[in-house]
């Protein structure tokens, strides 16, 4: 099966290959101190975070109709290819390059990975090679646009999605990541804490998902969930849960007590959130479902992400339970509304990330992590909580507005939505010429 020819993407890839001849990224010279245990843990964590993207593919793929499973899963897998190339060329520079106004990095700082191999250790990760830090951060950049795909599953053209994810990375992910995680970033300067990506990853993806659902409007079968394989959802949840320990505990950037604390809070919050989801349903006379347990786990993982290395283990219980109940209520609101967020990305990741960010401002304490300069609201101080509220509002407004812009730009360049006929036959056949 053939489709309309499109030579531009291939030409761009050839240009990148030619650039590699002129910018070979030779190792920088200099002596650096490393810790072998920290390197081993971060290599492991990097692999753990990467496996979350295939896990997400199964998680989403099991939720959609059988005729859209391959397309939905491929939307996650393609991120591992597209974002990896962008990251090496200029993406890493946009996030961690020399700061321009605290909003974005200079794309020339590490262009074509120049100065990364053998580069000076990153201040926040002083015991591992700079290249390992860069590759670990790449895995976060990969999964973030993949999270959005659940909002427009079963109704977006694949080629348009690829362009959209490129624009999302450049204009939403990179600025938020730079502002939050770069020492000179705008949000970092305000005192906003985000241990492993509650704002950078989950809020950015969740809010963009809401904008995408509103922009693309309803699918032909809005409100009708006909999951292809619940077993895929369970398998995907297992991969996500497993990989999330690298996501959160790895963000300690070393084999340390802080990593153990983050692992503990992650385990506790996710378990509590899973129980809260099905127990809350049971209290209202509903059956406990496998889907409910799986979504509850993910919501708990999302909510603890910004707080994992800043809060105590008992407080992580509260974060998981509160986030799960609030997300469950938002799912019910979304179901009754005309917002066709197909796989409830906004209630799970957007709302879960927001709850986690706010509760980080409530429960963070310097006794867990010395990076916390002002304790949270629970301990009687207001500075951190105020910074998080302001940061949340600013991040949501920025992301929502920018998402509509890039959706419109993408739609003008290449139509976003499949035709009703393509939607009816299914995206596996209409977009890829394949089927289960």
pLDDT band at residue 180 under the 50/70/90 scheme: very high
Where would I find the H helices in 1-129?
8-22, 36-61, 69-86, 92-96
| Average pLDDT of the residues of the chain | 95
Cα–Cα distances in Å, from 153 out to 56, 60, 209, 327, 402? 13, 9, 11, 20, 21
pLDDT (tens digit per residue) in 99-130: 999 999 999 999 999 999 999 999 999 999 99
- CB pairs under 8 A, 24+ apart, for 87-90? 87/134, 87/138, 87/141, 88/112, 88/113, 89/16, 89/19
Beta-bridged to residue 417, according to DSSP, are 156
**% of the chain beyond a pLDDT of 70:** 98
The 10s digit of each residue's pLDDT in 330-371 is 999 998 998 988 899 999 999 999 999 999 999 999 999 999
Q: pLDDT of 56-70, one tens digit each?
A: 999 999 999 999 999
Find the mean pLDDT for residues 393-407: 98
Sorted by where each starts, the structural domains of the chain and their CATH numbers stand as: 35-218+226-432 (1.10.3430.10)
Token digits for 153?
């599953």
- Helix, coil or strand: residue 156: strand
Per DSSP, the three-state class of 100 is strand
């Amino acid at each position: 099966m053939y489709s309309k020819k499109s030579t531009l993407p291939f030409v761009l890839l050839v240009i990148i290959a030619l650039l590699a001849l002129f910018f070979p990224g030779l190792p920088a010279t200099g002596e650096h101190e490393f810790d072998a245990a920290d390197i081993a843990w971060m290599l492991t964590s990097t692999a753990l975070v990467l496996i979350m993207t295939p896990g997400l593919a199964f998680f989403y793929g099991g939720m959609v109709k059988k005729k859209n499973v391959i397309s939905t899963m491929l939307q996650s897998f393609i991120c591992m290819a597209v974002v990896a190339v962008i990251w090496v060329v200029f993406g890493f520079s946009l996030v961690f390059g020399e700061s321009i106004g605290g909003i974005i990095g200079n794309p020339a700082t590490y262009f074509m990975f120049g100065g990364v191999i053998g580069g000076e250790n990153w201040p926040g990760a002083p015991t591992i090679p700079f290249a390992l830090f860069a590759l670990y951060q790449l895995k976060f950049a990969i999964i973030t646009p993949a999270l959005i795909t659940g909002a427009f599953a079963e109704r977006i053209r694949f080629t348009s999605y690829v362009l959209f994810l490129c624009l999302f990375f450049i204009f939403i992910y990179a600025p938020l990541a730079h502002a939050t995680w770069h020492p000179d970033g705008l949000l970092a300067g305000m005192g906003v804490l985000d241990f492993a990506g509650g704002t950078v990853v989950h809020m950015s993806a969740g809010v963009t998902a809401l904008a995408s659902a509103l922009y693309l409007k309803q699918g032909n079968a809005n409100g009708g969930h006909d999951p292809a394989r619940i077993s895929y959802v369970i398998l995907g949840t297992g991969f996500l849960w497993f990989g999330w320990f690298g996501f959160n505990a790895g963000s300690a950037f070393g084999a340390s007590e802080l990593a153990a604390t983050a692992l503990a809070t992650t385990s506790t919050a996710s378990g509590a959130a899973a129980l809260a989801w099905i127990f809350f349903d049971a209290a209202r006379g509903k059956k406990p479902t496998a889907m409910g347990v799986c979504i509850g786990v993910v919501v708990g993982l999302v909510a603890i992400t910004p707080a994992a290395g800043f809060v105590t283990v008992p407080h992580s219980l509260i974060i998981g339970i509160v986030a799960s109940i609030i997300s469950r209520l938002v799912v019910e609101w979304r179901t009754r509304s005309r917002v066709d967020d197909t796989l409830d990305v906004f209630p799970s990741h957007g709302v879960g990330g927001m709850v986690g960010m706010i509760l980080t401002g409530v429960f963070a304490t310097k006794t867990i992590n010395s990076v916390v300069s002002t304790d949270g609201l629970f301990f009687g101080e207001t500075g951190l909580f105020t910074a998080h509220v302001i940061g949340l509002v600013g991040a949501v407004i920025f992301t929502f507005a920018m998402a509509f812009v890039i959706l419109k730009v993408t739609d003008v360049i290449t139509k976003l939505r499949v035709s009703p006929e393509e939607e009816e036959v299914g995206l596996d056949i209409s977009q890829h010429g394949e089927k289960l």
